[in-house]
Structures are given as structure tokens and as C-alpha cells.
Amino acid sequence: MSSEEWRRRNGYLRFPAYGNFPDLSLNNTLMAKYLTPEMYEKLKNRKTSGKFTLEKLIQVGVDCPSVPWGRAAGVVAGDEETYTVFSPILDSVIKDLHDYGPEEKQKRDVDCKGLRDATIPRAKWKATRITAWRSLKGYRFPAACGRLDRRQIEQAIQSALKRLKGEFKGKYYSIVDLPESDQKHLTANNLMLVHNTPEMTCSERSRDWPDARGIFFTSDKTFVVHVNEADHLKVICWSQGSDLFDTYDRFQRGLSQLEEELKQNDEEFALSDHLGYIVSDPRHLGTAMEVRMRVQFRHLATDNRLHFALKCLNMKRCRQGKILAVQLLQGMVEGINKLSGLEALLDQGHEIHEALNDLQDAPVVLPQLRFQ
């Protein structure tokens, strides 16, 4: 087999510029992996009813070529129709990201009561953060919407947020009106809206910033909602040292209450049987949710075998498209408990070689974790 044939079969063959075809010769995104000159010619004249084109879809990948280990999608959708109009390229990207085929259907399971072995050693548990992205049905996404669309979206979401009750009652601020003290606190805790990343600017999602952008938060700032950032909505619920399932339960109740209030405005989240929650970035399709935990393993953190343990447990960037929300939590609990067992052995001065071999028998799928 020639080197060119091997590169083509394994997704490493990138095409140089010709005519209006972009230069993808050094591009590492999934878009560059699957966009061939033939596919480009087939799709270049298509557009959605919101006038979103192939050029707009791939521009973020052309301008941000990523790195080989980054697994960047290289595409950003402009509306719900994007995923059907440009399915020849997007189905391949989604399959690569989520191992999820075009004929598969989504299942929903948000009840965490049936989780097994839900106890994680408190000493290892530092913080939990759950994030969800959502789009409103019928509106163009941030990469395609204009000022009027954006302001209508903000108005609909703002009125719903102001009606939240109980522990989710809070304040909504336009970015330009946000008090400096709150801005510093939110920025320090990585809870502030971000608009100047290459992915945001190259996809045109930061146009007219900060017009019609806002943030909502409760008095303790543990339930936060971003409006018109990378998506119409980004909901964040976080805690320090709190139980994972308490945090998830609170997150789910807050998101459900917001969804009910939006329905009072005749708005609903974009959702399909195939893709789950439909959002701008294909990486977030499906549950459109990310669960992160900060855990502390004093011995494992400096042990070279940690990487092998993570590989055995399949602890990698989350494939959300095919995984239920409850599976994310279950996988996280099982994985951290297994790592805690390794940490305990090292703490007692024992060897972990046999324990590492045992990990290969029952791998689990986990969301992205941060270790310290």
C-alpha cells in the first residue's frame, strides 16, 4: 500500500487549495478529514432557509486548523436545518465525534436515582461543575443570527429567567450593565461570558458584542445562565465539595424550571429524535451536557502509570451524542472510585501493577475530568 493510500484510508490525506476550495493541506480538524473536493462541489451552492451556506459552516475550521490531538470539529451550525442540508459532511463529523450513525435515535434518561455505587471518597472530591448548552427552536443560531434575532432571543430568555422562583431566583444583567464586583467574581471562577476566542470570532458568533448578551445568576452564583454567547443558552451549575448527585439534581431542577417558563413564552428547546438537543457545535449534540469534577490524587498525579489507567477506563473527552446523562454520572462515579482504589494502594506503599491489569476488564466511558 502506498503512503498516499494509507493516509487516505486513515483520514490523514488533506487537500491543497484549488479554485475556491480552501487550503486544508495542514488542517487537523474533522471537517478537513472528510471534506473532499467532490463533496465541496456537491454542497457549495446549498443553503438553509436562514441563508446559511457551506462557506459559513466550514469557515471556523479553515481559520482555526487545530492540532492533531485536538479533535476539533471544524464546523459550526447556523440553524437546525444545517444538520440536514449539509448532512453529507456533518454526518461523518458526528460519527467520528460520537460514534453515532445517521440512522440512530436518541434516548432520554435524566433520573439519577437508579445509579449504582454513588459514593465517592470525600477527601478526593474538590469541585463539581455541570454545563448544558441549549438553542431555542425556530431561531437562527449565533453564527447566523442578526441583531433583531439576537435581541428577540434575549427578550424571550430574560423574561423567563426573571420568573424563576425559590433557590433559582436571581438577577439578570446585560453585559454592559454588570457591576464590576460581580464581573470580577464571575471571571475568577471561570463563569463569565467569553467572546474573543478564535473559535468565537472566526465563526462570527461574537458579532456586535456585547449587544443583546447577558448573564443571570443566583445570589450565591452557583446557578448561572449565559445568553447569546456560543449558543442561545448556556446553563452552569457548580459546587465545591458538594455531592455529585445533589449538584446534578439541582442542575436538572433549575433547567426544568427554566424550560417550563420558556414554554409560557411559547418557546421551546431545539430537539430531535436523532440528534438530541441541537446546538451550534457538533461536539455538544446529544445530551448537550458536560460534567466535570476536580479530584485530588496525591500519588497518582505524579505516577506515569496514570495515563495507562485513564486509557483503561476510557477517560477521554466526552462523546455526548450516544451517551445518556445518567450514563455520564455513572461512568464518572465508577471511574473515580477505581482511581481512588489505586491511590489507596499507593498510599499504603503497595504496587498497583495487578490492579492496573484488572482495570482492562471493565472499562467505562467518562466525561472530561481535571486532575490536580
Pairing relation of β-strands 125-134 and 233-240? antiparallel
351 is in an annotated binding site: no
Question: In the numeric block, which cell numbers belong to residue 111?
Answer: 433520573
130 is in an annotated binding site: yes
What's phi and psi for 225, nearest 5 deg? -130, 125
Q: Which residues contact 19 (CB under 8 A, 6 or more apart)?
A: none
Interatomic CA distance for residues 184 and 190, integer angstroms:
10
192 is in an annotated binding site: no
Interatomic CA distance for residues 50 and 53, integer angstroms:
9
Burial of 371 (0-12, 13-18, 19+ CB in 10 A): middle
247 is in an annotated binding site: no
320 is in an annotated binding site: yes
67 is in an annotated binding site: no
7 is in an annotated binding site: no
39 is in an annotated binding site: no
Q: Which residues contact 344 (CB under 8 A, 6 or more apart)?
A: none
Phi-psi group of 330: left, alpha or beta (phi > 0 → left; psi -120 to 50 → alpha; rest → beta):
alpha
291 is in an annotated binding site: yes
The enclosing H or E element of 331 equals helix 325-347
Q: How open is the CA angle 249-252-254, to the nearest 5 degrees?
A: 110
132 is in an annotated binding site: no
317 is in an annotated binding site: yes
128 is in an annotated binding site: yes
3-state helix, strand, coil in the chain (%, to 5): 40, 15, 45
Question: In the numeric block, which cell numbers belong to residue 244?
Answer: 455529585
Pairing relation of β-strands 370-371 and 289-295? parallel
Contact 74, 61 (CB under 8 A): yes
131 is in an annotated binding site: yes
Q: How open is the CA angle 64-24-76, to the nearest 5 degrees?
A: 45
Amino acid in the structure at residue 107: K
| Closest C-alpha to 363, from 338, 340, 345, 343 | 338
Q: Which residue has the cell 495507562?
A: 308
Q: Which residues are annotated as a binding site?
A: 127-131, 290-294, 317-322
Q: Which residues are annotated as a binding site for ATP?
A: 127-131, 290-294, 317-322
